[in-house]
Amino acid sequence: MSIIFRYLTRQTLITMLAVSGVLLLVFMSGRFIKYLAEAAAGELAGDVLFAIMAYRFPGFLELILPLGFFIGILLAYGRMYLESEMTVLFACGVSDRQVLGHTLVAALVVMLVVGAMSLWVTPWGMKNVDRIFHEQSQVTEFEMLAPGRFQTLESGGRVTYTEALSDDKRKLQGVFIAEYSEADQQLSLVVAEEGSQFVDEDTGSRFLVLQDGARFQGLPGELDYAITEFQAYGLKVAEQDVRGGEDEEGMSTAQLMASDDPELRALLHWRFSLPLIVPVVTLLAVRLSRVNPRQGRFFHLLPAMMIYILYLGLLIVARDALASGRVPEWIGMAWVHVLFLALGLWLQFGPAWLRRRRLEREGGARAQA
């Protein structure tokens, strides 16, 4: 039995790792492209992208592992049914309950990993992501510049271009700045040979001091532009506000447990729900993996995935209902788990129970006859 257990566990976990790796690559690539676009637009510094993705990795993993394990069971056991390996196991005395029991042991390991991610590692990672975003929000807009590229910045529809930028991002060469004022609908163009940042020690305000340039100001389409040549021109630099933090996601589980806020309590229930998904979907997947060789290897995947999507969708609905106060906290999100646990138990043991009851009735009828 230990050989069978190791074989079933190896088949399931190898398939789970392959599926989870593909899903991680897809989801993390999409998120990385989003951050990369923000860095290209000057909203994020390029050197923090990989740190953000590393800290967000546990958050992706906690969502993907249950799905990967579910699909892993469907693919691994489905193949074994098609190739008659399960038929051989059953002929050798291995029962359905033993297969389910062996699979639940592997599911326990996955559940512990998901639980650790959900309750501790992911909040720690999101807290660090919030810290990085906060640090980025303190960075001035000109520290976000990339040489040789026109960039639209946050402060008043300003477009800035610089030919070269020093390593410390304090000195600029070949500066062009265009700014449109909606108040008087005037366009202001500033060109300068070079520029540098200056900090007022009294107020802490930052200025970009441009040298050897000119300023053109007027209405677009008109010819009466005001032209001012300068040796030094000071331009106040606004601080960049990248985004508001994802503070709730970064709160520790202990903080959520001590809170009375319905939204935070709903987030707490969500964190406890993620590891509970694993044993429930295991119960579903073991039964749904049974395939008739005539149906094909992937015939059972569509209805199984529909059940999983419905499960996850109802959990999201239950979280929203709990956060809005429509569902009492003592019920929480448990009703969704109970519903699909009952479905899994029925799929696993219901047909055998019905068959046994039918045989008992037929046997009783024959005895009376």
Residue 119 CA to residue 40 CA, distance in Å, equals 34
Q: How would residue 307 be classed by pLDDT, with cut points 50, 70 and 90?
A: very high
More confident position, 258 or 140? 258
288/336 Cα distance (integer angstroms): 19
| pLDDT, position 137 | 67
- Does residue 65 surpass a pLDDT of 70? yes
329 within 8 A of 322, measured Cβ to Cβ: yes
Residue 203 backbone dihedrals phi, psi, to 5 degrees: -105, -20
pLDDT band for position 1 (50/70/90)? low
Share of the chain above pLDDT 90, in %: 45
Q: Are 141 and 237 in contact (CB under 8 A)?
A: yes
Give the chain's radius of gyration (CA, Å). Answer: 31
- pTM metric for this prediction: 0.77
Chain-centre distance for alpha carbon 282: 23
CB 206 within 8 A of CB 197: yes
pLDDT tens digits along 174-214: 989 888 877 777 888 899 999 887 777 777 677 788 899 99
Average pLDDT on 59-84 reads 93
pLDDT band with cut points at 50, 70 and 90 for residue 242? very low
Secondary structure letter of residue 240 according to DSSP: P
